[in-house]
Chain A
Amino acid sequence: MASLKINGEERTVEVDESTPLLWVIREQLGLTGTKYGCGIAQCGTCTVHVDGVPVRSCTYPVGALAGDEEITTIEGLSENGDHPVQQAWAEMDIPQCGYCQPGMIMAVAGLLNDIPEPTDEDISAQITNICRCGTLARVRKGIHLAAKKV
């Protein structure tokens, strides 16, 4: 049993406390925008925000939550899909297959919460998500564009 506050809603789920937050989000809460990629916090496809800070939810046991944290998934990042990062991503046509992009967008939105105008060095240090299609060059440009929109 765990209580969560996710995308502004209070939810209670029947689940073993060791279950990673990722699988609670996907399976108990039915929010499939957050993806499974590696299960060992390497690729970042599962990135969500806990109190505005990006975390890799695939290794974050739901039992580690106190219950009063604000969890935000890609579905809750903005009401109309128009968060500055989403706007920049749309303008630059960044996604290819798109599977890594919810995690990428959440990681970038988290970076901009922390550093509103990140330098290239900040981006290299903070954004470590994997994208196999290869959007990374555009992602870097997209982050700078999104920063201008914040």
Chain B
Amino acid sequence: MADGLTLSRRGFIVSASATGLAIGVLAACGGNGDEAENAVSSEPIPEVNAWVHVGTDDVVTVRIARSEMGQGTLTGLAQLVAEELECDWTKVVTEYPTPGENLARDRIWGDFATGGSRGVRDSHQYVREGGAAARIMLIEAAANEWGVPASECVAESSVIKHMGSDRQTSYGSIAEAASQLAPPIEVTLKDPSEWKIIGQPKLRLDTTDKLTGKQVYGADIQLDGMVNASIKAAPMIGGTVASFDASAIESMPGVIKVMQVGDNAVAVVAETWWQANTALEALPIEWEPGEGSDYSSAAFEAELDDGLTADEAFVGNGGGDVQAAFANAAQVVEATYNMPHQNHACMEPMNATAVWTEDKCEVWCPTQNGEAALASTADAAGLPLEQCEVYKVHLGGGFGRRGAGDYIAQAVTIAKSMPGTPVKLLWTREEDMVHGFFHPTTKARMRGALDADGNLTGLHLRISGQSILAALMPQALADGVDFATFQGLLPSGVDPRVEDQTLKYELPAFLIDHAMRNPPVRPGFWRGVNSNQNAIYLECFLDEMAFAAGRDPLEFRLSLMPDDSKNAAVLKAVAERSGWGSDDGKSRGLCTFYSFGSYTAACAEVTVSEDGRLKIDRIVAATDPGTAVNPQQIEAQVEGSFVYGLSALLYGEITFENGEVQQRNFDTFDSLRIADMPEVETIVMPSGGFWGGVGEPTIAVAAPAVLNAIHAATGKRVRQLPIKDQNLRDV
């Protein structure tokens, strides 16, 4: 949903890309088996093209512009390139080109932004073309050497054969000659029916080092002469540094420097991070409250409630005569639900390592957007983009949090005060919890009209609450409207940029609107973004309407969508697999949603004990992402989506008092553990012809399916999230 941001950043980068830049080192990011791992892939021969380098040892290095943060995009994108390249998959390794190189080469790798489940779906065309172009050049080089037409040569598994003779050569032998050739003007991509690597459940390319501790994350970066920093920013919204007493800690072990960073933070630099943080904990700091420092979540409830019935609201979608539907209704159903703020809580806290000199600033960091990280670096360094470089490392989780550059700017600011000395800044978990870009808070009031036959005749879904775009990219608002608020609820056929976030139900008369109520809390894009709560609001309420109408929730939903539609297909798939409607005494709940271009559905089975405790017994989930590049990785993302979505449902809640976050660590912002985790049966059912996202869409269906199953088990509706501390038999 960050299109506005992407476009504005692209404009910024492109305008600054006219000048040259020394090409930095490429950061290797994942091997594939021992052979590839042990190979030296930095042979001094040129690349075939920007996407593909082939060593004399036949090792194929595929360049990956998007960031790997667990979602598997690294492997998926490599499969796309390898498919068209016709290379030996067992000899594929990957590396990240740097944002500086991208800038110097006129953005040859395109967009580095990794969010919105777009890694594969937005770049599949050009990365496949890159692979195909490299194959054509390799074949042409071999044909030239043999003095035969290229049309008589074929490539398979990194070997080129001449069909008219027994001549053959390997990619590694011909790569240097191929690199001298002009790229083809036109390439034709394979028909999906010819795919041999795309669509296969390949193992990830980046697993081996993650099993042995060898994988280097940002927090693990070690540079010669490096010092370590810990930082504390004002704990209250809008707060700034009033004063701090450096003398109190300057003599503590290892302390090198105590300094203010920007107007709101204080950092301690020491030989080791533990020394830096120990000293920081002991540092007396006085904070000056500012705008928003009196904010409290409890008090903000009144503003959210006001928005639920306010006269003015932005219309996101609608049609038909809603007033008439309610005037003529045989029955009106009403309910109010909420979604509290959430923290991304990546397992690896925010960090960046920087070294600054008057001529150059270099940063090593986990980031979801290399180019934005480069811009943050240049800005904080006070240097032109061309004199800065960012080396991306694998992310220990991202979930949307690492699209921001706040921690990078801090690291660069500290490094700038110590020219030539590399500084690693690592946040504590507490700092990470307090200074998030939080999933926005909203409430929703739904009203539904039923006729005497139990048909839905009207629906009003009023969202009240926080807009992400208003805070982060107001230029992306359209006449004040934050379209992202309506994720998954938008009209189809209106704006191609949001066609992947549209409502798939066909409703006779309905209105979906948003009364914007913005707290002073910094919001952000959080895995699944606004589809998460929008699915809760719509799908729990449709369940309520089905029961009010005395109808089966599956049949009720299906009556509101074309029978041959893709959303009907995923819904039917989970119903069938889960045993929906069977007489086995299980308590089941359904949900379906469309977001990030993919159709998803889930059926949850739960047990609620006599004393009101929840056990989620089983999840059946279906997804139609159009094209399934790697089915087993899609399964992994679907399974993971339930952990993330159900963690929010069960435990996730960030609340503020006097402008301060009340949850400081995993003891108060808990995450679902293995004891809570049900088995997930995933049905991957790509229907072809389109490319949908995978990392995020399923989160939307996790919570509603469980909430609807809780109702099936208890007859009670849970409308206040999170579930923690609520007795489910007593809500």
Interface residues, chain A, with chain B CB atoms under 8 Å away? 16, 19-20, 23, 26-28, 30-40, 42-43, 45, 73-75, 77, 81, 86, 89-90, 93-102, 105, 123-125, 127-140
Contact = CB atoms under 8 A, between A and B. Distances in A.
B675 A133 contact: no
B340 interface: no
Interface string B65-84: 00011111000000000000
Contact of A98 (B206, B642, B671): B206
A139 B643 CA distance: 12
Contacts of B211: 81, 86, 89-90, 95, 101, 105
Among A95, A130, A134, A140, the one with the most B-chain Cβ atoms within 10 Å of its Cβ is: A134
Given A89-B207, A96-B636, 19 more contacts: A34-B213, A37-B349, A42-B666, A45-B347, A93-B203, A93-B204, A93-B632, A95-B207, A97-B69, A98-B70, A98-B394, A101-B211, A105-B211, A124-B675, A129-B673, A132-B345, A134-B641, A135-B639, A140-B677
A5 to B, nearest CB: 18
Given A81-B208, A97-B397, A105-B211, A134 B643 contact: yes
Interface stretch (B217-225, B314-322, B457-465, B605-613): B217-225
B337 interface: no
A6 B203 CA distance: 32
A127 B677 CA distance: 12
B667 A37 contact: no
A36 B641 CA distance: 24
Interface string B633-667: 10010011111100100000000000000000111
B640 A133 contact: yes
Contacts of A132: 344-347, 397, 399, 643-644, 647, 671
22 contacts: A32-B220, A35-B217, A37-B666, A42-B665, A42-B666, A43-B666, A81-B211, A86-B211, A93-B632, A93-B633, A96-B640, A98-B394, A99-B396, A129-B673, A133-B643, A133-B644, A136-B677, A137-B642, A137-B643, A137-B680, A139-B674, A140-B677
A137 B274 contact: no
Interface in B194-219: 203-204, 206-208, 210-217, 219
Contacts of B674: 123-124, 127-129, 136, 139-140
Contacts of A96: 70-72, 636, 640
Contacts of A124: 674-675
B70 A97 contact: yes
A100 B398 CA distance: 13
B640 A134 contact: yes
Interface of B: 68-72, 203-204, 206-208, 210-217, 219-220, 222, 228, 253, 272-274, 344-349, 394-399, 426, 428-429, 632-633, 636, 639-644, 647, 665-667, 671-675, 677-680
A90 B203 CA distance: 9
Nearest to B399: A132
A44 B46 CA distance: 44
Contacts of B222: 30, 32
A133 B70 CA distance: 7
Contacts of A45: 347
Ordered nearest first, which 6 A-B pairs have the shortest CB separation? Answer: A33-B213, A134-B640, A134-B643, A99-B396, A97-B70, A98-B210
B639 A36 contact: no
A36 B426 contact: yes
A48 B219 CA distance: 18
A82 B341 CA distance: 42
Contact of A81 (B212, B228, B253): B212
Nearest to A23: B274
Contacts of A74: 212-213
Contacts of A101: 210-211
A35 B273 contact: no
Nearest to A95: B210
A49 to B, nearest CB: 13
A42 B667 contact: yes
